[in-house]
Amino acid sequence: MNKQISTYTMWSTFLHCERRAYWRYIREMVPVRLDDALTFGSLIHECLASWYKDGSSESVLALIDDNYTERHYDATARKHWHYARAMMLAYMNRYVLDNWGVVAIEHEFDQPLKNPATGWGSHTFRLCGKIDLAVMVNDRAYVVEHKTAATIDAAYIEGLNLSLQADIYSNVAGDSPVGVIYNLLKKPAIRQFEANQRRKEPETDEAFQARLAEKLSEPDAFQRFTFLYDMNDRRRLQAELWELTNRWRRCTRSGMWLQDRQACFRFNKPCSYFKLCSSRDSEDVLNEFYEHKAAHSELTQEDTPHATT
């Protein structure tokens, strides 16, 4: 029997809103226009993978240039090009002498999803994903998860310790206790100056890059936090994932995928499926604002380009 792929993203989506999981993983629909923050974060992940693969800053900068070819005439592309370039230059400068012993880059895993009571694997699901980076530090194994964020405050950091993603990645990394390192990159909040009544000429790219470099030299621009996990954590995770598989099967059998109305404006902006839910699943809305994209496309070659305009 071909078992269904499940990932951290799928289970996290299902936990936050069953209806959102239905549209993404049952109907396999995504918004026509992707969220800029998601596409920017994907590019930074790719840049970091390139950096840890060959240590070439030239390759990283070329990757950014290739993803924002519209920057010469599109303001949004130019802004993201500036941010990505400045962030990666500052990151590579700060961590050029990193003591990480790189073991694997973008390591994909495919493991059984087990019943904690019996140890037998699920007949329906397997657990898959991609770990950004696996490293050795002082003879201890860690998985590294890269994150870009506009704000890195105490609440954000504390939330990482309860992250389902960290739990899953520590669980699949091996039999011995393993640590998870969150590698946090803060997206700068400054903008390039435009010409106005006080300023005759717009700020040059060189001047803006210099101002970004100064901002990204601050200590909190890049931060790392480590969490350790033991076998008790893993047993709790297995029980939680098994319960989620039971809930998923109940939704599938009943056809009832409930909307969590409290999640519609999570992060102070509408959910990407809000148009559909608020229109009561209008076919017109579905056809105009959404398109088909295979579930778990992040594990295939079907991902869309990073840059959008």
Q: Is 28 left (phi over 0), alpha (psi -120 to 50) or beta?
A: left
Q: What is the pLDDT of the chain when averaged over all its residues? A: 88
For residue 263, is it within any domain? yes
Please give the average per-residue pLDDT across 48-72, as a whole number. 95
DSSP 151-193: ---HHHHHHHHT-HHHHHHHHHS-SS--EEEEEEEEPP-----
Cα gap 284→276, rounded to integer Å: 9
Cα gap 122→127, rounded to integer Å: 10
Burial of 256 per CB tally in 10 Å (0-12, 13-18, 19+):
exposed
Q: Longest Cα pair distance anywhere in the chain, in angstroms?
A: 73
For residue 290, is it within any domain? yes
Residue 309 scores a pLDDT above 50: no
Sign, Cα dihedral of 285, 299, 160, 259: positive
For residue 279, is it within any domain? yes
Please give the average per-residue pLDDT across 292-302, as a whole number. 80
Residue 13 scores a pLDDT above 70: yes
Residue 301 scores a pLDDT above 60: no
pLDDT of the residue at 1:
56
Residue 57, token pair as written in the block: 């800053």
Residue 18, token pair as written in the block: 């069953």
Percent of residues, the chain, with pLDDT higher than 70: 94
pLDDT of the residue at 175:
57
Residue 172 scores a pLDDT above 80: no
pLDDT of the residue at 259:
92
pLDDT of the residue at 174:
61
pLDDT of the residue at 268:
78
Give the tens place of pLDDT for each residue, 70-105.
Answer: 999 999 999 999 999 999 999 999 998 888 999 999
Domain ranges, residue 265: 1-33+259-299
Under 8 Å CB-to-CB from 293, ≥6 apart: which residues?
Answer: 28, 29, 30, 302, 304
For residue 10, is it within any domain? yes
Cβ pair 217, 186 in contact under 8 A:
no
Sign, Cα dihedral of 18, 21, 25, 30: positive
Cα gap 298→256, rounded to integer Å: 27
Count of the separate structural domains present in the chain: 1
For residue 289, is it within any domain? yes
Taking residue 289's Cβ as centre, other Cβ atoms within 10 Å add up to: 17
Please give the average per-residue pLDDT across 204-232, as a whole number. 91
CA atoms within 13 A on the CB side of 111: 19
For residue 23, is it within any domain? yes
Give the H or E element holding residue 236: helix 231-254
DSSP 309: -
For residue 126, is it within any domain? no
Cα gap 11→6, rounded to integer Å: 7
For residue 284, is it within any domain? yes
Please give the average per-residue pLDDT across 122-145, as a whole number. 90
Please give the average per-residue pLDDT across 102-111, as a whole number. 90
